[in-house]
A and B are shown apart, each in its own frame.
Chain A
């Protein structure tokens, strides 16, 4: 637990949402939801199926355009029309199962959509890719995150599930400036691989990025998260710190058996006092 909760200067919010609403016909997927992600933290987002957490995350990553409400990056209001807009603000998303092209190699996957070209006319006229630089930089990114894969030239499909997820996370971490959003990164993994991915998530946090972790896996959430955003009925029900609450409490808030304090504008609240038992 190396988060900055005991520092006197309250951590600044990186990504916020105020009163987001998204309706699909008669269904209200996001019902006036608030959201606060602070710098350098791992914020887990949990909620029952149908609570609207995936709609919320899609709004934050630009995949869904909210009907009303406000999204702020580093305090300034922004509008996302697509995931590419969100990326321009330094927000990268690792989508469940959809992150990689298995037949392409690791370096190609890391640089997919942002390939580097050679300098000079070879690059500008002949569009020649700078394969060597991409392979070298990929190796560096992977080493920084302590992902033990040697060859950047092997196809991603030859990797294990955890290593593939590692590639996807490394890709986002390499290009994100503010936020990495991880959608169920451990859903398809075994115990050992899950541990590896959780370590990787901490590595990314320790490199200074804020992380949103969407997960169904309560033990994982409680192991790795600095704070937990609990979503219920399309809005934020509570934000808790894992060491102050039990998993049963979290489940109780998720299902409505326990009514959490509604916490508005988390950064204004003194750190550590967000969640209060009722």
Chain B
């Protein structure tokens, strides 16, 4: 017991004080995307007075609502160093299940919603089970379930869209006035989901374990974290979130559409990457993903208002994705 030992600290020479405040802010992964979002908004606001209006901003949020919600689940999975290609197809299946049961089978809409959520959650569990149980790569597993969900959607719906009129099912598409602007309940719900996910990831042990598993799965396992259970929970939770996205999609369009969401998997990955989350897992933030989703929405809306063909939005998004991944790689190389 030598806590009173006096002499030379045999430990390292005291570290150079941590990175400076400015350095730390600049290397915080969400700051870059946030600056870019603000610049994009400023740019389009200068270009057109129609851009920075309450109505247009509300519309942008509505347009990113479905992909934005899917991207929450995608962020969870990417933080564990996985990826989910199936989320758009699973979301489409969820919509068809809800719409079919509520409209064609005349089920109580609440029950239809719960069964829809159960269906998407089951897909999440299946993804997670195959990834943890059989140790298959998430890319391949979700490529498989993407096709399965897509096929089931078309078989179950007979390739027909189902128009929905139930006010319960379209609740999230309804609006309320907020400072002179009509805002949908769905937009608010999506933001609330982001806040919830942010809290869990940042301030609870389970959330920190998600980062640890993505960062160094072996270290996480050896510290006693049940990594398989954690991964299974992450995939199942993502499935549940996709079910919520199904509901938001129905509310926004008033139909259950078997062809919905076909590029949403890649769009959600785009939002995650633009938000500064690393595809290698363990680094990033769900708030970054929200910013990433909004960047895509702002560019799309802005170019439309300015009168540029929409294909240029795709072009710019493509460039931004590469820039975002390159920046992530460079910053990792610098700190490694």
Contacts and interface: CB of A to CB of B under 8 A. Distances in A.
A and B associate in one complex: yes
Interface of A: 83-84, 87, 93, 95, 98-104, 108, 112-115, 117, 126-129, 131, 144-151, 153-155, 157-160, 162-163, 166, 193, 195-196, 199-200, 203, 206-208
Contacts of B11: 145-149, 166, 196, 199-200
A175 B219 CA distance: 16
A160 B208 contact: no
A218 B16 CA distance: 32
Contacts of B2: 203, 206-207
Among the interface residues A103, A200, A203, which one has the most CB atoms of the partner chain B within 10 A?
A: A103
Q: Which 3 A-B pairs have the closest CB atoms?
A: A199-B10, A113-B223, A147-B11
Nearest to A88: B224
Contacts of B22: none
A108 B225 CA distance: 13
Given A158-B18, A158-B335, A100 B219 contact: yes
A157 B216 CA distance: 12
Contact of B10 (A153, A160, A203): A203
Contact of B15 (A84, A117, A148): A148
Given A113-B209, A129-B204, A129-B208, 11 more contacts: A95-B219, A99-B219, A99-B222, A104-B211, A108-B212, A112-B219, A115-B208, A146-B11, A155-B335, A196-B12, A199-B11
Nearest to B16: A150
Nearest to B332: A157
B105 interface: no
A163 B15 contact: yes
Given A129-B205, A206-B2, A101 B13 contact: no
Given A154-B18, A158-B19, A149 B12 contact: yes
A104 B3 CA distance: 29
A220 B282 CA distance: 35
B283 interface: yes
B206 interface: yes
Nearest to B10: A199
A98 B216 contact: yes
Interface of A (DSSP majority class): loop
B176 interface: no
Interface string B180-219: 0000000000000000000010011110110110011011
B225 A112 contact: yes
B204 A87 contact: no
Contact of A112 (B200, B218, B223, B336): B223
B208 A108 contact: yes
B14 interface: yes
Interface in B250-283: 282-283
Interface residues of B, number: 36
15 contacts: A95-B219, A95-B222, A98-B216, A98-B219, A99-B222, A100-B216, A103-B215, A112-B208, A113-B220, A113-B225, A117-B205, A148-B12, A159-B15, A160-B12, A200-B11
Nearest to B225: A113
Contacts of A163: 12, 15
B140 to A, nearest CB: 26
Contacts of A108: 208, 212
Given A104-B212, A115-B205, A158-B19, A148 B14 contact: yes
B215 A102 contact: yes
Contacts of B200: 127
A272 to B, nearest CB: 24
B1 interface: yes
Nearest to B284: A103
A99 to B, nearest CB: 6
Contacts of A99: 219, 222
Contacts of B224: 83-84, 87, 113-114
Given A101-B282, A148-B13, A200-B11, A157 B335 contact: yes
B222 A146 contact: no
B335 A146 contact: no
Nearest to A170: B11
A252 to B, nearest CB: 32
A160 to B, nearest CB: 7
A30 to B, nearest CB: 21
A114 B225 CA distance: 9
A150 B17 contact: yes
B239 to A, nearest CB: 21
Interface in B81-122: none
A208 B204 contact: no
A102 B220 CA distance: 11
Contacts of B3: 144, 207
Contacts of A200: 10-11
Given A196-B11, A207-B1, A101 B216 contact: yes
B9 interface: yes
A207 B14 CA distance: 22
Contacts of A155: 335
Contacts of B212: 101, 104, 108, 112
Interface in B1-35: 1-3, 5, 9-15, 17-19
